[in-house]
Structure formats: structure tokens, C-alpha cells
Structure 1
Amino acid sequence: MNSLHSLESIQSFINRERLSLVYISQPNCSVCHSLKPQVEELLEEYPGISSVHVDASEVPEAAGQFSVFSVPAVLVFSEGKELFRKARFVPLGELNQQLVKYNHFINEV
């Protein structure tokens, strides 16, 4: 999962990709560090979903722009429109169900 370091690059990524996942974390968040590799492993099943990591301490305006009040946060977008979000507690089963649904929908259109 590549990292983005500016709000402009995040916005460009979200608007450019057909289906994307943005993982927002902070360096002092132990849950963030343990969840990220699990999300990356899950995303291996979905090669059509592009993903990026955003460090909220490095790009604090991203947390404000996306109304993220707790980390880790997982946001799923399709061509700039938010489809799904989960923060603080991110059940991987629920995330997987949502990715199946959106991936299927995007590939059918």
C-alpha cells in the first residue's frame, strides 16, 4: 500500500480510481499498525481496488476533509464518491463483504 503525503494527491487518487480504498492511521496507534497488514492481505483478493495509506499526523487536513475523528479509518470510494467508511473498530468480515459488493457492482457496470 503506497502512502500519499498531500491532500491534493489524495483527492486526485480518489477521483482518478474507479474503486479505491484509503487507509488513514497515525504513528502512535497500535491498532492501526496491526490492522494495516490485515487490510493489505485482504486487498490482495481484489486486484481491481487501488489503495493508499495516509498518515493523519503528516497530512492533518485529510482527517478534516474526510471527517475522520478516530483512527484507524478505512474509506472506500468510487470515482470520488464515498461508498463505505469504518473507523476505530474495523471488522475485516464486514469490510470484505462491502468490498465484494462494490467490486462486483463496479465490474458489472
Structure 2
Amino acid sequence: MAPHMENVQTIGQIKDRLSREEIVILLIKSENCSVCDAIENQIKDGAIKDNSVPVIKAKLEDAPEISGEFLTFTSPTILLFINNKEHWRASRFIPFDDLNKHIDFWKT
């Protein structure tokens, strides 16, 4: 079972979610990006082993300021936040094994 993925459209929505949750994964993607779609599908197919970790998804076209706020210059980018601080990031081809290790470490 994959984690639930919530769509967000503003920096405010992202910051609100980061402030309310202990651990959050942020997927930043672009329209018409086949790699972005593939990464999103991998998440939906269970690439993130702990399905209790919330995943929020933002499109750069909905809120272009996301790129500057989170210093993301390519998509897809996945950021792992713990206690509202970035702890891990990867872009383009995502090493989900590494991401899962970081989640496991912080959940124990």
C-alpha cells in the first residue's frame, strides 16, 4: 500500500503542512515531464515503504516560487522534511532505497 499523496498549490499550503507534521515528503514536479510522472507512479506503487509518511505534491506551474523557496532547479525533486527542516533531497532519478533508509532512521 502506498502513502496518500496530497496535491498542494501554494507555498503557504506546503509550509502549513511542514509545520503540522513531524515527517513529510515533498515531490516537486513539472507538467509534461515523463520522469516526473514515472517518479510519481513509483511512489503510488509503493517505492516509499512507510505508508504513514505523508507525501505532498506540488507542480512548478501552479506556484513557480516553489523553485526559489526550496532551491529546486530541476524536476522531479523529492525533499524529506523532519521537524520542518530539510534532511534529504534528490532530483531526477530518485534513489528510493536511500530515502527509505533515512525515513527508517528517523522513525526509530
TM interval, shorter chain, is 0.7 to 0.9
Is the 8 Å Cα contact of residues 39 and 92 (structure 1) preserved in structure 2?
no
Name the aligned partner's letter for residue 29 of structure 1.
C
Structure 1 consecutive aligned stretches of length 4 or more whose deviation exceeds 2 Å: none
Paired residue for 1:89?
Answer: 93
- TM-superposed deviation, 1:47: 3.4
Give 1:66-77 correspondences, 5 Å limit.
66-77=70-81
Q: Would you tell me which structure has more helix in proportion to its own residues? A: 1
Residue 37 of structure 1 pairs with residue 44 of structure 2:
no
- TM-superposed deviation, 1:89: 2.0
What is the CA RMSD across the aligned residues, in angstroms? 1.3
Aligned counterparts of 2:38 and 2:51: Cα–Cα separation in 1: 22
Give 1:2-81 correspondences, 5 Å limit.
2-40=6-44, 41-43=46-48, 45-81=49-85
Aligned counterparts of 2:104 and 2:87: Cα–Cα separation in 1: 13
Aligned counterparts of 1:58 and 1:70: Cα–Cα separation in 2: 15
TM-score, normalised via structure 1 length: 0.86
- TM-superposed deviation, 1:52: 0.6
- TM-superposed deviation, 1:94: 1.7
Is the 8 Å Cα contact of residues 49 and 103 (structure 1) preserved in structure 2?
no
| 3-state SS of 1:52 partner | strand
* Aligned sequence identity (%): 26
Unaligned runs of 5+ in 1: 105-109
